[in-house]
Amino acid sequence: MVEVLAVGLSDIKVARQGQNLRSSGLGSCVGLVLFDSLRHIAGMAHIMLPDNKITRGKAHPPGKFANTAVPELLKQLLAIGAKKSNLYAKMAGGAEMFRTTTGFTANIGMRNIEAVKAELDAHHFELVSADVGGNFGRSIEFVTETGDLRIHTVSQGDKVI
């Protein structure tokens, strides 16, 4: 029986074979997975915002921001036996959910996507697949057995990347 670990808003979780990672309600947030396919070890972060500069030194969970989530995710994966050179990335989310009647948008989804990609580049992780953007929410589940990222949407159907 596979155990499913829930990854909440601003959360980071790691899993081994026999455990899946699931995050629900990704709107402008990005669900990022790093996966060591040789050891079947994965980690997921539910990233809310691009960077922690807006916090003015206040403490927040490291999973909340792209610039703190990626290093923390790496740290937790290495602690349970993943090898950095084996890790690759998949991500989903980053929708534009907050368009106003005047057409104004803060572009949080796109800014999150760009920030996550920049952090992946800075840490030399290959982004092998992504399902990002649009104006619809997603829920995701990562299967450590296969490396599949299952994506569910209400309006766009389901897919696997």
Active site residues: 29
Give the alpha-carbon dihedral of 122, 19, 14, 134, to 10 degrees: 50
Amino acid letter for position 62: P
Q: What are phi and psi of 7, to 5 degrees?
A: -110, 105
Alpha helices in 12-135 (DSSP H): 66-79, 108-122
Q: What residues have CB less than 8 Å from 22, skipping those under 6 apart?
A: 4, 5, 6, 7, 139, 140, 141, 142
Distance, in Å, from the CA atom of 140 to the CA atom of 90, rounded to the nearest integer, reads 11
The answer to whether 47 touches 64, Cβ cutoff 8 Å, is yes
